[in-house]
Amino acid sequence: MKRIVLLSLTGAAAILLLLNFSCSKKGTSSSGTGSTIGNDSILLNIGNNIILPGYKSLSMATGSLDSAIIDFSANPNGASLSNVRALFKSAYIAWESVSEYDGFGPAYNVQPTLAGLNLFPTTTTRIDSNINAGNDNVNAFSNASAKGFPALDYLLFGAGNNTLANYTTDAQASNRKQYLSAISADIKTEVNTAYAGWAARGGNYINTFVNGTGNSISSSLGLLINSMDQDFEVLKNDRLGIPLGKQPPGAILPVLPKEVEAYYSGISAQLALAQLKAVQNIYLGSGTQGNGPGLQDYLIEAGAKYNGGLLSDTVKAYFSSAVSALQAIPDPFSATIQSNAAPADALYAEIQQLVVLLKTDMPSSLGVLITYGDNDGD
């Protein structure tokens, strides 16, 4: 679950301080002069070759999932359950490639906001209560943590070998199918609304994005970096830190395996890897048309330095190292951190430093103001 506190920064002195602040935990960075921030070729590539294809893939995945859930509800059997479970995993992984844009544009400017589709861990007692009461109003305020992908994770995997019986012979089978269908339909609707908002033939926010040059708070670069960084901190804090007992900072806590994302389906590491690679793609400019200009190109233009080398190369190296470390961690993540937490601890340290580079060094070098805070000390 996202636990981010928004900050309001006022006063020229505070802004100047943030724009020039460039220290990090492992080094110092600086920027050159003459950079053309907000070059529309970079925004064009990120928008058309990364963001729009990501939403399209998610829209198709959630559409297929919803159709399968309709079929399953009409005829629940082993084959239809297996099909739904497989499509659920595909849709959840596709979600991780668009969550980076939850903080602005169509995903943010509608109610309910798209971020509400992945508030984890889900509240299972609330889901069970809703099913028993026949309440499928999934967008009620009280159901904020009883909807979206985490709720489907519980409904499709939470009962283990008894799952099929829950939808056939159980006394609440009819209500459970109704609730399952309501959650799936809501996911499909919210995703399609966001996708339509971005599409040129819809709300055409893609045009706003690619033309939003500059580095102000309201520029596309400013909005993208803030939203991407905030989402990336969910990886550090919620996907890794809380289950590993490292949040809040300084606390000495046991591992909390049930706090992981996708606890019941056991695909937590896969989801984390999908999100990490999605952020890496934005940085590198890697999309459906291959490699193009990305955020790293802004740093290259700026001549940003880090410990005597290029900041762009440092960030790229940390991404590569973090991806390799995460690929080596097996699912289910909840079991792995109980049997051998050392690799996950090492990954957490990698991600922690990457957060500093993305949240402090990169924005500072580009003159982008970070307008959110999490109070976790990074």
Q: CA-CA distance, 235 to 229, in Å (whole number)?
A: 10
Tell me, what's the pLDDT at 378?
A: 62
Q: Using an 8 Å Cβ cutoff, are 284 and 291 in contact?
A: yes
Q: Using an 8 Å Cβ cutoff, are 26 and 361 in contact?
A: no
Residue 133, C-beta contacts closer than 8 angstroms, at least 6 positions apart:
none
Q: Using pLDDT thresholds of 50, 70 and 90, give the confidence band for residue 249.
A: confident
* Amino acid in the structure at residue 80: S
Q: Using pLDDT thresholds of 50, 70 and 90, give the confidence band for residue 191.
A: very high
What is the tens place of the pLDDT at every residue in 219-236? 999 999 999 999 999 999
Q: What is the mean pLDDT of the chain?
A: 90
- Residue 192, judged by CB atoms within 10 A of its CB (0-12, 13-18, 19+), counts as middle
Rg of the chain's alpha carbons, rounded to an integer? 21
Q: CA-CA distance, 45 to 288, in Å (whole number)?
A: 10
Looking from the CA of 275 toward its CB, the CA atoms found within 13 Å total 27
% of the chain at pLDDT higher than 70: 88
Instruction: Work out the number of other CB atoms within 10 angstroms of the CB of residue 278.
Output: 25
Tell me, what's the pLDDT at 248?
A: 86
Residue 54, C-beta contacts closer than 8 angstroms, at least 6 positions apart:
94, 97, 98, 278
Name the DSSP letter for residue 28.
Answer: B
Q: Using an 8 Å Cβ cutoff, are 362 and 18 in contact?
A: no
Q: Does residue 279 have a pLDDT over 60?
A: yes
Tell me, what's the pLDDT at 126?
A: 98
Q: CA-CA distance, 235 to 232, in Å (whole number)?
A: 5
Q: Where in the chain is the domain with CATH 1.20.1420.20?
A: 52-203
Predicted TM-score of the model (pTM): 0.90
Q: Does residue 186 have a pLDDT over 60?
A: yes
What is the tens place of the pLDDT at every residue in 154-176? 999 999 999 999 999 999 999 99
- State the fold for domain 52-203: A middle domain of Talin 1 (1.20.1420)
